[in-house]
Structure 1
Amino acid sequence: MSRHPAKIVFVAAVSLLAIGAALSLGAANAEDVTEDQVLKALTPQKKPLTRSLSMVPPAQSDPASEAEGKLMQSLRNRSTRSLSMEEREQIAAIVKSKPNIDLEINFDYNSDRISARSLRSVQALGRALANPELKGSIFIVAGHTDAAGGEEYNLNLSERRADSIKHYLVETSGIPAADLITVGYGKTKLKDPAHPLSEVNRRVQVVNTENKTTASK
Protein backbone atom coordinates (compact mmCIF):
# COMPACT_ATOMS: atom_id res chain seq x y z
CA MET A 1 0.00 0.00 0.00
CA SER A 2 2.79 2.45 0.81
CA ARG A 3 4.24 2.13 -2.68
CA HIS A 4 1.12 3.22 -4.54
CA PRO A 5 1.12 6.90 -3.48
CA ALA A 6 4.76 7.18 -4.57
CA LYS A 7 3.91 5.61 -7.90
CA ILE A 8 1.00 7.99 -8.37
CA VAL A 9 3.23 10.96 -7.59
CA PHE A 10 5.85 9.71 -10.06
CA VAL A 11 3.27 9.27 -12.85
CA ALA A 12 1.81 12.70 -12.15
CA ALA A 13 5.27 14.26 -12.29
CA VAL A 14 6.03 12.59 -15.63
CA SER A 15 2.67 13.75 -17.00
CA LEU A 16 3.34 17.32 -15.94
CA LEU A 17 6.76 17.22 -17.59
CA ALA A 18 5.23 15.89 -20.80
CA ILE A 19 2.56 18.60 -20.79
CA GLY A 20 5.19 21.23 -20.13
CA ALA A 21 7.32 19.97 -23.01
CA ALA A 22 4.31 20.00 -25.33
CA LEU A 23 3.42 23.53 -24.37
CA SER A 24 7.01 24.66 -24.89
CA LEU A 25 7.09 23.05 -28.32
CA GLY A 26 3.80 24.67 -29.24
CA ALA A 27 5.11 28.09 -28.19
CA ALA A 28 8.26 27.64 -30.26
CA ASN A 29 6.26 26.55 -33.32
CA ALA A 30 3.91 29.51 -32.90
CA GLU A 31 6.85 31.88 -33.39
CA ASP A 32 8.00 30.22 -36.61
CA VAL A 33 7.06 31.81 -39.89
CA THR A 34 6.80 29.72 -43.04
CA GLU A 35 8.24 30.33 -46.48
CA ASP A 36 4.71 30.59 -47.91
CA GLN A 37 3.74 33.24 -45.36
CA VAL A 38 6.78 35.35 -46.20
CA LEU A 39 6.27 34.85 -49.93
CA LYS A 40 2.62 35.88 -49.73
CA ALA A 41 3.38 38.96 -47.64
CA LEU A 42 6.24 40.20 -49.84
CA THR A 43 4.80 39.46 -53.28
CA PRO A 44 3.45 42.66 -54.89
CA GLN A 45 -0.20 42.62 -55.92
CA LYS A 46 -0.52 42.29 -59.68
CA LYS A 47 -2.39 45.15 -61.30
CA PRO A 48 -5.34 44.06 -63.46
CA LEU A 49 -4.91 44.50 -67.18
CA THR A 50 -7.31 46.94 -68.85
CA ARG A 51 -8.14 47.36 -72.51
CA SER A 52 -8.97 50.56 -74.29
CA LEU A 53 -10.23 51.05 -77.83
CA SER A 54 -8.58 54.43 -78.10
CA MET A 55 -4.92 55.01 -78.59
CA VAL A 56 -3.42 55.90 -75.24
CA PRO A 57 -0.07 57.74 -75.25
CA PRO A 58 2.77 56.15 -73.27
CA ALA A 59 2.58 56.96 -69.58
CA GLN A 60 4.95 59.65 -68.46
CA SER A 61 7.61 58.75 -65.96
CA ASP A 62 6.76 59.27 -62.31
CA PRO A 63 9.28 61.62 -60.65
CA ALA A 64 8.56 60.11 -57.24
CA SER A 65 9.24 56.57 -58.50
CA GLU A 66 12.42 57.71 -60.22
CA ALA A 67 13.64 59.39 -57.03
CA GLU A 68 12.81 56.26 -55.04
CA GLY A 69 14.70 54.08 -57.49
CA LYS A 70 17.75 56.34 -57.35
CA LEU A 71 17.69 56.27 -53.56
CA MET A 72 17.52 52.48 -53.45
CA GLN A 73 20.41 52.15 -55.88
CA SER A 74 22.49 54.63 -53.85
CA LEU A 75 21.91 52.64 -50.67
CA ARG A 76 23.08 49.32 -52.07
CA ASN A 77 26.43 48.21 -50.63
CA ARG A 78 26.21 50.99 -48.05
CA SER A 79 26.99 50.38 -44.39
CA THR A 80 23.97 50.67 -42.11
CA ARG A 81 25.79 53.07 -39.84
CA SER A 82 26.63 55.36 -42.75
CA LEU A 83 22.97 56.26 -43.28
CA SER A 84 21.96 59.79 -42.40
CA MET A 85 18.81 60.56 -40.41
CA GLU A 86 17.27 61.98 -43.60
CA GLU A 87 17.93 58.73 -45.47
CA ARG A 88 16.45 56.69 -42.62
CA GLU A 89 13.28 58.76 -42.77
CA GLN A 90 13.13 58.44 -46.55
CA ILE A 91 13.33 54.67 -46.19
CA ALA A 92 10.61 54.75 -43.51
CA ALA A 93 8.33 56.68 -45.88
CA ILE A 94 8.93 54.23 -48.72
CA VAL A 95 8.15 51.08 -46.72
CA LYS A 96 4.67 52.31 -45.78
CA SER A 97 3.35 51.52 -49.25
CA LYS A 98 5.41 48.42 -49.99
CA PRO A 99 4.80 44.72 -49.32
CA ASN A 100 6.29 43.96 -45.91
CA ILE A 101 6.30 41.51 -43.03
CA ASP A 102 7.23 41.86 -39.36
CA LEU A 103 9.19 38.92 -38.00
CA GLU A 104 9.68 38.14 -34.32
CA ILE A 105 13.36 37.25 -34.42
CA ASN A 106 14.91 36.55 -31.05
CA PHE A 107 18.54 37.30 -30.33
CA ASP A 108 20.78 36.37 -27.47
CA TYR A 109 20.65 38.88 -24.62
CA ASN A 110 22.43 42.15 -25.45
CA SER A 111 23.74 40.52 -28.61
CA ASP A 112 23.27 40.43 -32.37
CA ARG A 113 23.53 36.65 -32.43
CA ILE A 114 20.33 35.03 -33.71
CA SER A 115 18.89 32.68 -31.09
CA ALA A 116 18.54 28.99 -31.92
CA ARG A 117 14.76 29.09 -31.63
CA SER A 118 14.50 31.76 -34.36
CA LEU A 119 16.73 30.08 -36.94
CA ARG A 120 13.84 28.31 -38.65
CA SER A 121 12.07 31.61 -39.27
CA VAL A 122 15.22 33.19 -40.69
CA GLN A 123 15.80 30.13 -42.87
CA ALA A 124 12.20 30.37 -44.15
CA LEU A 125 12.84 34.02 -44.93
CA GLY A 126 15.94 33.09 -46.92
CA ARG A 127 14.06 30.50 -48.97
CA ALA A 128 11.32 33.00 -49.75
CA LEU A 129 13.72 35.75 -50.85
CA ALA A 130 15.47 33.24 -53.13
CA ASN A 131 12.15 32.19 -54.67
CA PRO A 132 11.78 33.11 -58.38
CA GLU A 133 8.77 35.26 -57.46
CA LEU A 134 10.95 37.57 -55.39
CA LYS A 135 14.46 36.93 -56.64
CA GLY A 136 16.16 40.07 -57.92
CA SER A 137 14.17 42.55 -55.84
CA ILE A 138 15.87 44.95 -53.46
CA PHE A 139 14.79 44.31 -49.88
CA ILE A 140 15.01 46.48 -46.80
CA VAL A 141 15.82 44.75 -43.51
CA ALA A 142 14.89 47.11 -40.68
CA GLY A 143 15.75 46.44 -37.05
CA HIS A 144 13.56 47.72 -34.20
CA THR A 145 13.77 47.53 -30.40
CA ASP A 146 11.37 48.24 -27.55
CA ALA A 147 11.61 51.42 -25.48
CA ALA A 148 13.84 50.03 -22.73
CA GLY A 149 17.31 51.57 -22.64
CA GLY A 150 18.83 54.69 -24.14
CA GLU A 151 18.32 55.89 -27.69
CA GLU A 152 21.92 55.52 -28.83
CA TYR A 153 22.22 52.04 -27.33
CA ASN A 154 19.00 50.83 -28.95
CA LEU A 155 19.90 52.37 -32.31
CA ASN A 156 23.25 50.60 -32.31
CA LEU A 157 21.68 47.30 -31.24
CA SER A 158 18.98 47.47 -33.93
CA GLU A 159 21.62 48.17 -36.60
CA ARG A 160 23.74 45.24 -35.51
CA ARG A 161 20.78 42.90 -35.49
CA ALA A 162 19.63 43.98 -38.95
CA ASP A 163 23.16 43.40 -40.22
CA SER A 164 23.19 39.98 -38.54
CA ILE A 165 20.08 38.95 -40.46
CA LYS A 166 21.62 40.19 -43.70
CA HIS A 167 24.87 38.31 -43.17
CA TYR A 168 23.00 35.11 -42.38
CA LEU A 169 20.87 35.38 -45.52
CA VAL A 170 23.91 36.08 -47.68
CA GLU A 171 25.92 33.21 -46.25
CA THR A 172 23.22 30.53 -46.06
CA SER A 173 20.66 31.43 -48.75
CA GLY A 174 22.86 32.99 -51.40
CA ILE A 175 21.00 36.31 -51.43
CA PRO A 176 23.25 38.95 -53.06
CA ALA A 177 24.46 41.35 -50.39
CA ALA A 178 23.67 44.32 -52.63
CA ASP A 179 20.00 43.27 -52.71
CA LEU A 180 19.65 43.68 -48.93
CA ILE A 181 19.62 47.20 -47.49
CA THR A 182 19.82 47.24 -43.69
CA VAL A 183 18.69 50.05 -41.44
CA GLY A 184 18.22 50.39 -37.68
CA TYR A 185 15.58 52.51 -35.97
CA GLY A 186 16.11 51.57 -32.34
CA LYS A 187 13.05 52.55 -30.34
CA THR A 188 12.01 55.47 -32.56
CA LYS A 189 9.30 53.60 -34.49
CA LEU A 190 7.42 51.41 -32.05
CA LYS A 191 4.84 49.07 -33.52
CA ASP A 192 2.72 49.43 -30.36
CA PRO A 193 3.36 52.91 -28.90
CA ALA A 194 0.70 52.34 -26.25
CA HIS A 195 2.83 49.53 -24.82
CA PRO A 196 6.42 50.66 -25.41
CA LEU A 197 7.97 47.70 -23.59
CA SER A 198 5.90 45.08 -25.40
CA GLU A 199 7.79 42.33 -27.20
CA VAL A 200 5.95 43.14 -30.45
CA ASN A 201 8.18 46.19 -30.70
CA ARG A 202 11.29 44.00 -30.78
CA ARG A 203 11.12 42.96 -34.38
CA VAL A 204 12.79 42.81 -37.76
CA GLN A 205 10.77 44.21 -40.62
CA VAL A 206 11.48 42.99 -44.15
CA VAL A 207 10.21 45.10 -47.06
CA ASN A 208 10.13 44.39 -50.78
CA THR A 209 10.87 47.73 -52.46
CA GLU A 210 9.82 46.17 -55.80
CA ASN A 211 12.91 47.61 -57.44
CA LYS A 212 14.45 44.85 -59.53
CA THR A 213 18.20 44.60 -59.91
CA THR A 214 19.73 43.94 -63.31
CA ALA A 215 22.55 41.81 -61.92
CA SER A 216 20.20 39.22 -60.44
CA LYS A 217 18.12 38.62 -63.56
Structure 2
Amino acid sequence: MAHVTWTLRPRMLLVALCLLSAAPVSRAAGNLLLKEDDINEQAITNALVPHAGLPNEPAANEPADRTETLGIRYRDSPAMTDSSAAPSMAGSANLLITFTSNSAKLTHSARVALDKVARALKSNQLSPYRFRVEGHADPRGPAPANLKLSESRAEAVVAYLSEEGGVPASRLTPVGKGSAEPLNVQNPTAPENRRVTIVTVQP
Protein backbone atom coordinates (compact mmCIF):
# COMPACT_ATOMS: atom_id res chain seq x y z
CA MET A 1 0.00 0.00 0.00
CA ALA A 2 2.90 2.33 0.80
CA HIS A 3 4.32 1.68 -2.66
CA VAL A 4 0.98 2.60 -4.29
CA THR A 5 0.82 5.84 -2.32
CA TRP A 6 4.35 6.77 -3.44
CA THR A 7 3.63 6.15 -7.11
CA LEU A 8 0.37 8.11 -7.10
CA ARG A 9 1.74 11.16 -5.33
CA PRO A 10 3.68 12.58 -8.32
CA ARG A 11 0.60 12.12 -10.49
CA MET A 12 -1.56 13.94 -7.95
CA LEU A 13 0.94 16.81 -7.86
CA LEU A 14 0.95 17.00 -11.65
CA VAL A 15 -2.85 17.14 -11.76
CA ALA A 16 -2.89 19.87 -9.11
CA LEU A 17 -0.36 21.95 -11.06
CA CYS A 18 -2.41 21.60 -14.24
CA LEU A 19 -5.56 22.72 -12.45
CA LEU A 20 -3.79 25.74 -11.00
CA SER A 21 -2.40 26.79 -14.35
CA ALA A 22 -5.84 26.52 -15.96
CA ALA A 23 -7.69 28.39 -13.20
CA PRO A 24 -8.74 32.02 -13.72
CA VAL A 25 -6.76 34.79 -12.05
CA SER A 26 -7.75 35.06 -8.39
CA ARG A 27 -8.83 38.25 -6.67
CA ALA A 28 -5.53 38.34 -4.81
CA ALA A 29 -3.76 38.60 -8.18
CA GLY A 30 -5.71 41.75 -9.02
CA ASN A 31 -8.39 42.85 -11.42
CA LEU A 32 -8.51 41.32 -14.87
CA LEU A 33 -7.59 43.65 -17.73
CA LEU A 34 -9.39 43.04 -21.02
CA LYS A 35 -7.83 44.09 -24.31
CA GLU A 36 -10.02 45.35 -27.12
CA ASP A 37 -10.20 41.95 -28.84
CA ASP A 38 -11.41 40.35 -25.57
CA ILE A 39 -14.22 42.83 -24.92
CA ASN A 40 -17.73 41.47 -25.37
CA GLU A 41 -21.22 42.44 -24.20
CA GLN A 42 -21.52 39.64 -21.66
CA ALA A 43 -18.21 40.46 -19.96
CA ILE A 44 -19.17 44.13 -19.69
CA THR A 45 -22.63 43.30 -18.37
CA ASN A 46 -21.25 40.91 -15.75
CA ALA A 47 -18.69 43.49 -14.65
CA LEU A 48 -21.02 46.48 -14.38
CA VAL A 49 -24.12 44.91 -12.79
CA PRO A 50 -23.98 45.77 -9.05
CA HIS A 51 -23.52 42.69 -6.89
CA ALA A 52 -22.98 41.60 -3.32
CA GLY A 53 -19.40 40.93 -2.30
CA LEU A 54 -16.02 42.48 -1.58
CA PRO A 55 -14.16 44.66 -4.09
CA ASN A 56 -11.01 43.34 -5.73
CA GLU A 57 -7.48 44.56 -5.02
CA PRO A 58 -5.83 46.97 -7.53
CA ALA A 59 -4.21 45.30 -10.50
CA ALA A 60 -0.46 45.27 -11.09
CA ASN A 61 -0.45 44.09 -14.69
CA GLU A 62 2.20 45.57 -16.94
CA PRO A 63 1.24 44.95 -20.59
CA ALA A 64 4.12 45.54 -23.02
CA ASP A 65 2.09 47.84 -25.26
CA ARG A 66 3.22 51.39 -25.98
CA THR A 67 -0.15 52.46 -27.42
CA GLU A 68 -2.05 54.79 -25.12
CA THR A 69 -5.07 53.13 -23.57
CA LEU A 70 -8.39 53.60 -21.88
CA GLY A 71 -9.09 51.27 -18.97
CA ILE A 72 -12.44 50.31 -17.56
CA ARG A 73 -12.03 48.56 -14.25
CA TYR A 74 -13.22 44.96 -14.60
CA ARG A 75 -14.45 42.97 -11.59
CA ASP A 76 -14.82 39.20 -11.67
CA SER A 77 -18.43 38.14 -11.15
CA PRO A 78 -18.61 36.56 -7.67
CA ALA A 79 -20.55 33.46 -6.78
CA MET A 80 -24.24 34.06 -6.14
CA THR A 81 -24.81 35.17 -2.55
CA ASP A 82 -27.75 36.19 -0.42
CA SER A 83 -28.15 39.93 -1.05
CA SER A 84 -29.20 40.39 2.57
CA ALA A 85 -25.86 38.98 3.76
CA ALA A 86 -23.64 41.54 2.01
CA PRO A 87 -24.05 45.10 0.73
CA SER A 88 -24.44 45.70 -3.00
CA MET A 89 -21.13 46.69 -4.59
CA ALA A 90 -20.94 49.09 -7.52
CA GLY A 91 -19.88 47.36 -10.72
CA SER A 92 -16.72 48.42 -12.58
CA ALA A 93 -14.33 47.09 -15.29
CA ASN A 94 -10.78 47.53 -16.81
CA LEU A 95 -10.65 47.54 -20.60
CA LEU A 96 -7.50 48.46 -22.50
CA ILE A 97 -8.92 50.59 -25.30
CA THR A 98 -6.55 52.69 -27.41
CA PHE A 99 -6.31 56.44 -28.03
CA THR A 100 -4.10 58.23 -30.51
CA SER A 101 -0.88 59.07 -28.65
CA ASN A 102 -1.12 62.08 -26.30
CA SER A 103 -4.68 62.90 -27.37
CA ALA A 104 -8.31 62.07 -26.69
CA LYS A 105 -8.93 60.76 -30.22
CA LEU A 106 -10.24 57.19 -30.20
CA THR A 107 -8.65 54.70 -32.58
CA HIS A 108 -10.75 52.58 -34.95
CA SER A 109 -10.31 49.50 -32.73
CA ALA A 110 -11.38 51.57 -29.71
CA ARG A 111 -14.60 52.57 -31.46
CA VAL A 112 -15.33 48.94 -32.33
CA ALA A 113 -14.84 47.96 -28.68
CA LEU A 114 -16.99 50.84 -27.42
CA ASP A 115 -19.80 49.73 -29.73
CA LYS A 116 -19.93 46.53 -27.66
CA VAL A 117 -19.82 48.51 -24.43
CA ALA A 118 -22.73 50.66 -25.64
CA ARG A 119 -24.83 47.59 -26.45
CA ALA A 120 -24.15 46.25 -22.95
CA LEU A 121 -25.13 49.57 -21.33
CA LYS A 122 -28.45 49.46 -23.22
CA SER A 123 -29.17 45.87 -22.16
CA ASN A 124 -32.05 45.03 -19.82
CA GLN A 125 -29.58 44.27 -17.02
CA LEU A 126 -27.84 47.67 -17.18
CA SER A 127 -30.54 50.00 -18.50
CA PRO A 128 -31.73 50.96 -14.95
CA TYR A 129 -28.30 52.36 -14.05
CA ARG A 130 -26.25 55.47 -14.67
CA PHE A 131 -22.46 55.42 -15.09
CA ARG A 132 -19.59 57.63 -14.03
CA VAL A 133 -16.84 57.78 -16.68
CA GLU A 134 -13.57 58.70 -14.94
CA GLY A 135 -10.59 59.78 -17.03
CA HIS A 136 -7.05 58.99 -15.84
CA ALA A 137 -3.55 59.90 -17.05
CA ASP A 138 -0.08 58.70 -16.12
CA PRO A 139 2.21 61.13 -14.20
CA ARG A 140 4.34 62.20 -17.18
CA GLY A 141 3.93 65.88 -17.94
CA PRO A 142 2.54 68.77 -15.84
CA ALA A 143 -0.34 67.96 -13.52
CA PRO A 144 -2.71 70.53 -15.10
CA ALA A 145 -2.09 69.03 -18.56
CA ASN A 146 -2.68 65.52 -17.21
CA LEU A 147 -5.94 66.61 -15.65
CA LYS A 148 -7.09 68.23 -18.88
CA LEU A 149 -6.17 65.15 -20.92
CA SER A 150 -8.01 62.85 -18.52
CA GLU A 151 -11.09 65.07 -18.73
CA SER A 152 -10.92 65.10 -22.52
CA ARG A 153 -10.66 61.31 -22.70
CA ALA A 154 -13.62 60.81 -20.37
CA GLU A 155 -15.64 63.28 -22.46
CA ALA A 156 -14.59 61.53 -25.69
CA VAL A 157 -15.82 58.18 -24.41
CA VAL A 158 -19.10 59.69 -23.19
CA ALA A 159 -19.60 61.45 -26.53
CA TYR A 160 -19.00 58.25 -28.49
CA LEU A 161 -21.23 56.09 -26.30
CA SER A 162 -23.98 58.69 -26.56
CA GLU A 163 -23.72 59.91 -30.16
CA GLU A 164 -22.64 56.70 -31.86
CA GLY A 165 -23.75 54.05 -29.36
CA GLY A 166 -27.17 55.45 -28.55
CA VAL A 167 -26.69 55.54 -24.77
CA PRO A 168 -28.61 58.53 -23.35
CA ALA A 169 -26.14 61.23 -22.29
CA SER A 170 -28.13 61.67 -19.08
CA ARG A 171 -26.88 58.23 -17.96
CA LEU A 172 -23.19 59.14 -18.39
CA THR A 173 -21.14 61.60 -16.32
CA PRO A 174 -17.52 62.34 -17.37
CA VAL A 175 -15.01 63.11 -14.59
CA GLY A 176 -11.30 63.94 -14.91
CA LYS A 177 -8.95 62.40 -12.34
CA GLY A 178 -5.57 63.35 -13.79
CA SER A 179 -2.73 61.11 -12.52
CA ALA A 180 -3.96 60.96 -8.91
CA GLU A 181 -5.24 57.36 -9.00
CA PRO A 182 -2.81 55.05 -10.87
CA LEU A 183 -3.96 51.48 -11.33
CA ASN A 184 -0.37 50.21 -11.55
CA VAL A 185 1.70 51.92 -8.85
CA GLN A 186 4.76 49.74 -9.55
CA ASN A 187 5.00 51.10 -13.10
CA PRO A 188 3.58 54.64 -13.22
CA THR A 189 3.85 54.87 -17.02
CA ALA A 190 2.08 51.55 -17.65
CA PRO A 191 -0.76 51.68 -20.23
CA GLU A 192 -3.43 50.90 -17.64
CA ASN A 193 -2.66 54.19 -15.88
CA ARG A 194 -3.81 56.05 -19.01
CA ARG A 195 -7.42 54.94 -18.87
CA VAL A 196 -11.06 55.76 -18.38
CA THR A 197 -12.79 53.93 -15.52
CA ILE A 198 -16.50 53.27 -15.86
CA VAL A 199 -18.31 52.87 -12.55
CA THR A 200 -21.96 51.91 -12.12
CA VAL A 201 -24.06 54.45 -10.21
CA GLN A 202 -27.12 53.19 -8.38
CA PRO A 203 -30.39 54.62 -9.80
TM range (shorter): 0.5 to 0.7
1:106 and 1:158 mapped to 2: Cα distance? Answer: 14
For 2:134, what is the secondary structure of its paired residue? strand
Q: Aligned-residue CA RMSD in angstroms?
A: 1.9
For 1:173, what is the secondary structure of its paired residue? coil
2:95 and 2:197 mapped to 1: Cα distance? Answer: 6
Shift of 1:49: 6.7
1:122 and 1:30 mapped to 2: Cα distance? Answer: 12
User: 2:202 aligned with 1:206, yes or no?
Assistant: no
- Structure 2's unaligned 5+ residue stretches are 1-33, 53-80
Instruction: Choose which of 174, 187, 195 in structure 1 pairs with 2:187.
Output: 195
2:35 and 2:92 mapped to 1: Cα distance? Answer: 20
User: 2:79 aligned with 1:45, yes or no?
Assistant: no
Q: What amino acid sits opposite 1:48 in the alignment?
A: D
Cα distance change on mapping 1:157 and 1:30 into 2, 3 Å: closer
Q: What amino acid sits opposite 2:156 in the alignment?
A: S
Aligned-pair identity in percent equals 32
User: 2:149 aligned with 1:157, yes or no?
Assistant: yes
Shift of 1:110: 2.3
Instruction: Choose which of 26, 31, 34 in structure 1 pairs with 2:40.
Output: 34
Q: Which residue is 1:180 aligned to?
A: 172
Q: How many residues align?
A: 137
Q: What amino acid sits opposite 1:109 in the alignment?
A: S
Cα distance change on mapping 1:116 and 1:190 into 2, 3 Å: same
Q: 147-156 or 105-114, which moves further after superposition?
A: 105-114
Given that 1:136 and 1:179 are in contact with CA atoms closer than 8 Å, whether structure 2 keeps it comes out as: no
1:39 and 1:184 mapped to 2: Cα distance? Answer: 24
Instruction: Choose which of 131, 138, 151 in structure 2 pairs with 1:146.
Output: 138
For 2:162, what is the secondary structure of its paired residue? helix
- Structure 1's unaligned 5+ residue stretches are 1-28, 51-96, 212-217
TM-score by length of 2: 0.63
Residues 1-217 of structure 1: pairs in structure 2 closer than 5 A: 30-32=35-37, 33-45=39-51, 48=82, 97-211=89-203
Given that 2:51 and 2:90 are in contact with CA atoms closer than 8 Å, whether structure 1 keeps it comes out as: no
2:35 and 2:130 mapped to 1: Cα distance? Answer: 28
Cα distance change on mapping 1:30 and 1:160 into 2, 3 Å: closer
Please list the CA deviations of residues 160-179 of structure 1 after superposition, one character each: whole Å capped at 9, or x if unmatched.
01001001111122211111
Shift of 1:122: 0.8
TM-score by length of 1: 0.59
Q: What amino acid sits opposite 1:174 in the alignment?
A: G
